[in-house]
Amino acid sequence: MELLYIAALCGLLIFMNFVGIRAQGQRSPLARALRQLMVMVTVTVAAGMLPVLMPSEAAALFVQCIHYAGTEWLLIFLLRFLEQYTEDVWSKKSAKIIIYSLAVVNSVSMLLNGAFHHIVTCRYTDIGNGVMCYVFMTQKPWYSLHLCFTYVLVACNLGVLIRQSVITTKFYRKKYSVALLMLVITVAMDGVCTIMDYPLDYSLYAYVILAIALTYYSIYYIPQGLITKTLSYVVADSSSGVVCFDVIGKCIYANEMAMSIYGNPSELSAMEPIFRKELGEKEFSNAKEGKWDREFILNGHTLYFDMNFSKLFDEQENYIGCYFILHDKTEDMEKLEREHYRSTHDILTGLFNREYFYECVKKRREMPDEEYYMTCTNIKDFKLINDLFGAEMGDAILIRLAEVMKEALPEGTICGRLESDHFAFCIRKELFQESALIDGINEVARMIPSSEYHILIHIGVYAVQRADYDAAVMCDRANIAIGTVKDSYDCMIAYYDESLMERVMSEKRLVSEFDSALADGQFVMFLQPQVSTAGTVLGAEALVRWMHPQRGMVSPGEFIKAFENAGLIYRLDQYIWDLAAQKLREWKDSGHEDLHISVNISAKDFYYLDIYRTFVDLVEKYDIPPKKLKLEITETALMMDLEKQLVLLDKLQSYGFNVEIDDFGSGYSSLNMLKDIHADVLKIDMGFLRKTQDNERAQIILRMIIELAKQLHMIVITEGVESKAQVDYLTETGCDMFQGFYFARPVAVPEFEQRYM
Ligand code: C2E
Ligand code: CA
Ligand code: CA
């Protein structure tokens, strides 16, 4: 009987230590605490069963005391283990010191029992059926002290576990409840054995089983279980769809996401044909692992997925199943699309931006057989529109123009906004419809609610002859075509031809020669007389001529625009103004101070110069009356920033200058502007008479303008008069002065002086 009892215990101890050694691999504090606990269990249990075998009473008492002391330490180590297991620091340092001190005192007391027998004594007695055994008799109060301490420790251990079981979530409760149950069983068995006073302590089994159970649960079962369970939650909760199939291809799992992607089928088995189709009707086990893109339409939204197919193998490389992961990359794709859109489109109009437009045109070159047009648009004085009507109106015009283009142009046309008001499109030649485009553009032009200002949009067309040209070159050519009509108020569309290119090149040459020409004095002032109705020369207009060493005399019509575009005109103008002022001074000194000279001020001069200061300095420098240096300003230059210009005019006039409105009637002219601008002279361009078919009507208008100017107390001068008839008619209508070939062409200054002075 005893032998069986001992053999069974030994067997359990060996098994426990075997399990413990396997846990050795784990370097965690938990595994360490567990091994320490096992050492204590081994010592305590061994000491508990050994008295049966002891040869003498003293030896039996000694091992029994070791058992008592061992029990206390075992419970302390159990507490330490639970501290790790629950990850809950179970007591303060002071409490630990008390517990350890008490255990040491008790242990010493146990060791002294051999001398004093104050804890336990024993007798070798027949316990029935002739079985001889040591029977122990405990002694008060020392044994009671041990018992109390032991129960306090048991209570601490139970307390820790109960507390954890209560405060933890259901998910983790199992982790503690199993340990709690084992401890309760052990304590109960110990209690039963003590009360029943069995000579053999069967509760020792419970100690060992407790240790084994704790090892199994703490090191293997619970962590593994928790991992599995946690993972299953992760998978179920994942934003990716997960579908698993077993070895025979039966769907065993599909998470919520996967089900929703496939319309929430009621049976998992519905997944099988779907995924077999994904693999091209192959068996899962034969299909190749891989990744591919998939699109789904859910509630009208397109969703983009990465579909991953992987197979599962056991340790022996046997196929055991497979799974699909559907990773939703819609957000990434949308972000990518947004970024791509932003990097390729103009945000304001939604058309392609310059870079992308060029890129698309470049791609079109790959179809060299197709004939197509590169077409560019330009809004005349777009800056002026922004200034006059606000940036919002400017934006609205751009947006509408883009819309109109999209509507008017057939599909397949590449449309882009190159910069500010410059749009471009590349269109198949046979699809290009000039009228549709012009209708659209006229609609945009009507957006400005002002009768005084009209938007002018010009279109330049380049018929692509060489497909290997860069898009930028094609656009340049379309823009060169625009250059030929950009000052025109009726001609909206212009086609590029090679002669234009020559003109551009020649302009470029002129610009490059400007500096040296100015320094060499190649620019000369010509004078064209301005004559009264009585035929008296009252003064002259200064008109520049370029005495070019190779080309001879070049007229301003050939270079003024180029210099304006190159930002050079202000230097030429300053030079001519100086010549004019200098001449006035000479005339003043020679007694001809009654003659005046009118000088031209380009619209661009207002950007570069302080006009007021420049002219004041000039008349002060040569000491001439400002009234004799007349200033010709075109209406367009005045309209650029009307309010500012009015202030400037006022200042100039207060100083004594006479201001003339030049070219009135040549551009778009508004009678309305006359009400704001208090100019001294209105210079009417005869050109607008020449252009019309209906001479009678034109004459009526001319007469009205002259009458109006007179009522506004302006002097009227008509330029471009070529015939006596014109002079007679204009004199009769009330015109004050004339300038024109009828009287004289512009001539060099010495000739002018010779003829008229
Ligand atoms: P504009 O200010 O309107 O000057 C009058 C132009 O009409 C001159 O052309 C003159 O030669 C021309 N003209 C005069 N009488 C007649 C006529 O009876 N019939 C015709 N068909 N034409 C006549 P020009 O000298 O070739 O100058 C052209 C334009 O160049 C000027 O037009 C003016 O805008 C500009 N310009 C000339 N010199 C200067 C200058 O020094 N500075 C600036 N900024 N522009 C200038
Ligand atoms: Ca002029
Ligand atoms: Ca003029």
Residue 88: pLDDT band with limits 50, 70, 90: low
Nearest ligand atom owner, CA of 663: 3
Closest Cα to residue 630, out of 619, 644, 643?
A: 619
Residue 537 has pLDDT above 70, yes or no: yes
Nearest ligand atom owner, CA of 601: 1
Interval between CA 497 and ligand 1 midpoint (Å): 27
Question: What pLDDT sits at residue 197?
Answer: 72
Residue 451: pLDDT band with limits 50, 70, 90: low
Answer whether 543 contacts ligand 1 (Cβ < 6 A). Answer: yes
Residue identifier of the C-alpha nearest atom 27 of ligand 1: 556
Residue 486 is given by DSSP the state T
Residue 311 has pLDDT above 90, yes or no: yes
Which of 315-319, 525-529, 653-657 bottoms out in mean pLDDT, i.e. has the lowest? 315-319
Residue 668: pLDDT band with limits 50, 70, 90: low
Measured between alpha carbons, how far is residue 24 from residues 28, 40, 269, 595, 654 in Å? 9, 16, 45, 119, 106
Cα torsion 201, 207, 210, 216: sign: negative
Interval between CA 495 and ligand 1 midpoint (Å): 27
Question: Mind listing the pLDDT tens digit for each residue in 21-65?
Answer: 776 666 778 888 888 888 999 999 988 888 877 888 888 899 989
Interval between CA 278 and ligand 3 midpoint (Å): 80
Q: Up-side HSE of residue 539: CA atoms within 13 Å toward CB?
A: 21
Answer whether 555 contacts ligand 1 (Cβ < 6 A). Answer: yes
Interval between CA 723 and ligand 1 midpoint (Å): 18
| Complete edge-to-edge strand list for the sheet that includes strand 319-328 | 251-254, 241-246, 319-328, 301-313, 290-298
With the most atoms of ligand 1 within 8 angstroms of its CB, the residue from 526, 559, 560 to mutate is 560
If 0-12 CB within 10 Å is exposed, 13-18 middle and 19+ buried, where does residue 70 land? Answer: buried
Mean pLDDT (whole number) for 145-162? 90
Residue 90 has pLDDT above 60, yes or no: no
Answer whether 687 contacts ligand 1 (Cβ < 6 A). Answer: no
Residue 610 has pLDDT above 60, yes or no: yes
Residue 176: pLDDT band with limits 50, 70, 90: confident
Residue 576 has pLDDT above 80, yes or no: yes
Interval between CA 589 and ligand 3 midpoint (Å): 29
**Above pLDDT 70, what percent of the chain?**
97
Alpha carbons 447 and 457: distance in angstroms, whole number: 12
Answer whether 600 contacts ligand 1 (Cβ < 6 A). Answer: yes
Q: Report yes or no on whether pTM surpasses 0.75.
A: no
Higher-pLDDT residue of 650, 498: 650
Question: What pLDDT sits at residue 40?
Answer: 92
Residue 673 has pLDDT above 90, yes or no: no
Alpha carbons 374 and 464: distance in angstroms, whole number: 7
Helix axes 170-196, 203-215, angle to 10 degrees: 160
Interval between CA 720 and ligand 2 midpoint (Å): 11
Interval between CA 478 and ligand 1 midpoint (Å): 29
DSSP SS3 for 441: helix
Mean pLDDT (whole number) for 433-452? 81
Nearest ligand atom owner, CA of 560: 1
Contact 486, 378 (CB under 8 A): yes
Mean pLDDT (whole number) for 368-391? 86
Residue 588 has pLDDT above 60, yes or no: yes
Answer whether 722 contacts ligand 1 (Cβ < 6 A). Answer: yes
Alpha carbons 605 and 560: distance in angstroms, whole number: 12
Question: What pLDDT sits at residue 689?
Answer: 66
Closest ligand 1 atom to Cα of 526: 25
Alpha carbons 714 and 669: distance in angstroms, whole number: 17
What backbone phi and psi angles, to 5 degrees, belong to 347?
-65, -40
Alpha carbons 478 and 493: distance in angstroms, whole number: 10
Residue 740: pLDDT band with limits 50, 70, 90: very high
Mean pLDDT (whole number) for 742-750? 96
Question: What pLDDT sits at residue 698?
Answer: 81
Torsion of CA 439, 442, 444, 446, to 10 degrees: -140
Which of 97-111, 160-174, 281-295 bottoms out in mean pLDDT, i.e. has the lowest? 160-174
Closest Cα to residue 117, out of 60, 70, 73, 74?
A: 60
Interval between CA 680 and ligand 1 midpoint (Å): 20
Residue 1: pLDDT band with limits 50, 70, 90: low
Question: What pLDDT sits at residue 750?
Answer: 97
Alpha carbons 134 and 2: distance in angstroms, whole number: 12
Question: What pLDDT sits at residue 48?
Answer: 86
Place of tokens 């939703």: 328
Residue 605 has pLDDT above 60, yes or no: yes
Contact 102, 149 (CB under 8 A): yes
Instruction: Write out the E strands in 439-595.
Output: 457-463, 493-495, 523-532, 537-548, 552-554
Tell me the pLDDT of the chain averaged across its residues.
88
Closest ligand 1 atom to Cα of 602: 44
Closest ligand 1 atom to Cα of 683: 3
Interval between CA 477 and ligand 1 midpoint (Å): 29
Answer whether 746 contacts ligand 1 (Cβ < 6 A). Answer: yes
Answer whether 528 contacts ligand 1 (Cβ < 6 A). Answer: yes
Residue 75 has pLDDT above 90, yes or no: yes
Interval between CA 683 and ligand 3 midpoint (Å): 7
Residue 501: pLDDT band with limits 50, 70, 90: confident
Answer whether 660 contacts ligand 1 (Cβ < 6 A). Answer: no
Answer whether 665 contacts ligand 1 (Cβ < 6 A). Answer: no
Residue 94 has pLDDT above 80, yes or no: yes
Place of tokens 């069963």: 49
Interval between CA 719 and ligand 3 midpoint (Å): 7
Which of 25-34, 155-164, 424-433 bottoms out in mean pLDDT, i.e. has the lowest? 25-34
Closest ligand 1 atom to Cα of 525: 41
Residue identifier of the C-alpha nearest atom 21 of ligand 1: 720
Alpha carbons 261 and 238: distance in angstroms, whole number: 13
Alpha carbons 212 and 13: distance in angstroms, whole number: 9
Those residues with Cβ within 8 angstroms of residue 102's Cβ, 6 or more apart along the chain or in another chain: 149
Answer whether 531 contacts ligand 1 (Cβ < 6 A). Answer: no
Interval between CA 543 and ligand 1 midpoint (Å): 6
DSSP SS3 for 143: helix
Instruction: Write out the E strands in 160-240.
Output: none
Higher-pLDDT residue of 483, 375: 375
Answer whether 662 contacts ligand 1 (Cβ < 6 A). Answer: yes
Question: What pLDDT sits at residue 691?
Answer: 63
Measured between alpha carbons, how far is residue 517 from residues 507, 527, 571, 657 in Å? 14, 20, 12, 30
Interval between CA 267 and ligand 3 midpoint (Å): 90
Question: What pLDDT sits at residue 244?
Answer: 93
Answer whether 666 contacts ligand 1 (Cβ < 6 A). Answer: no
Higher-pLDDT residue of 648, 370: 648
Answer whether 544 contacts ligand 1 (Cβ < 6 A). Answer: yes
Question: Mind listing the pLDDT tens digit for each residue in 332-361?
Answer: 999 999 999 999 999 999 999 999 999 999
Question: What pLDDT sits at residue 619?
Answer: 97
Residue identifier of the C-alpha nearest atom 1 of ligand 1: 663
Residue 683 has pLDDT above 60, yes or no: yes
Higher-pLDDT residue of 405, 548: 548
With the most atoms of ligand 1 within 8 angstroms of its CB, the residue from 600, 664, 666, 683 to mutate is 600
Alpha carbons 710 and 139: distance in angstroms, whole number: 142
Closest ligand 1 atom to Cα of 544: 38
Alpha carbons 724 and 702: distance in angstroms, whole number: 17
Interval between CA 542 and ligand 2 midpoint (Å): 8
Residue identifier of the C-alpha nearest atom 41 of ligand 1: 544
Alpha carbons 335 and 329: distance in angstroms, whole number: 10
Which of 246-255, 576-585, 685-694 bottoms out in mean pLDDT, i.e. has the lowest? 685-694
Mean pLDDT (whole number) for 352-375? 86
Residue 603: pLDDT band with limits 50, 70, 90: very high
Interval between CA 572 and ligand 3 midpoint (Å): 18
Closest Cα to residue 383, out of 630, 681, 636?
A: 636
Interval between CA 569 and ligand 1 midpoint (Å): 15
Contact 470, 357 (CB under 8 A): no
Place of tokens 């012009």: 438
Answer whether 576 contacts ligand 1 (Cβ < 6 A). Answer: yes
Q: Which residues surround ligand 2, an ion (CB under 5 A)?
A: 600, 632, 662
Question: What pLDDT sits at residue 172?
Answer: 74
Alpha carbons 293 and 291: distance in angstroms, whole number: 7
Interval between CA 743 and ligand 1 midpoint (Å): 15
Higher-pLDDT residue of 657, 384: 657
3-state SS string for 355-391 = HHHHHHHHHHCCCCCCCEEEEEEEECCHHHHHHHHCH
Cα torsion 393, 395, 399, 401: sign: positive
What backbone phi and psi angles, to 5 degrees, belong to 293?
-90, 145
Contact 713, 736 (CB under 8 A): no
Residue identifier of the C-alpha nearest atom 11 of ligand 1: 746
Residue 215: pLDDT band with limits 50, 70, 90: confident
Answer whether 747 contacts ligand 1 (Cβ < 6 A). Answer: no
Question: What pLDDT sits at residue 343?
Answer: 94
Question: What pLDDT sits at residue 319?
Answer: 92
Higher-pLDDT residue of 137, 622: 622
With the most atoms of ligand 1 within 8 angstroms of its CB, the residue from 514, 523, 543 to mutate is 543
Q: Which helix (H) or strand (E) holds 748?
A: strand 747-748
Alpha carbons 102 and 698: distance in angstroms, whole number: 127
Contact 372, 426 (CB under 8 A): yes
Residue 452 is given by DSSP the state S
629-634 and 596-601 strand pairing: parallel
**Above pLDDT 90, what percent of the chain?**
46
Question: What pLDDT sits at residue 521?
Answer: 96
Residue identifier of the C-alpha nearest atom 17 of ligand 1: 720
Question: What pLDDT sits at residue 573?
Answer: 98
Place of tokens 């207009």: 541
Answer whether 350 contacts ligand 1 (Cβ < 6 A). Answer: no
Residue length, the chain? 757
Closest ligand 1 atom to Cα of 555: 26
Interval between CA 642 and ligand 2 midpoint (Å): 20
Alpha carbons 222 and 216: distance in angstroms, whole number: 8
Mean pLDDT (whole number) for 617-631? 97
DSSP SS3 for 442: helix
Mean pLDDT (whole number) for 622-645? 91
Token reading at 547: 């005495």
Contact 584, 622 (CB under 8 A): yes
Residue identifier of the C-alpha nearest atom 4 of ligand 1: 543
Residue 671: pLDDT band with limits 50, 70, 90: confident
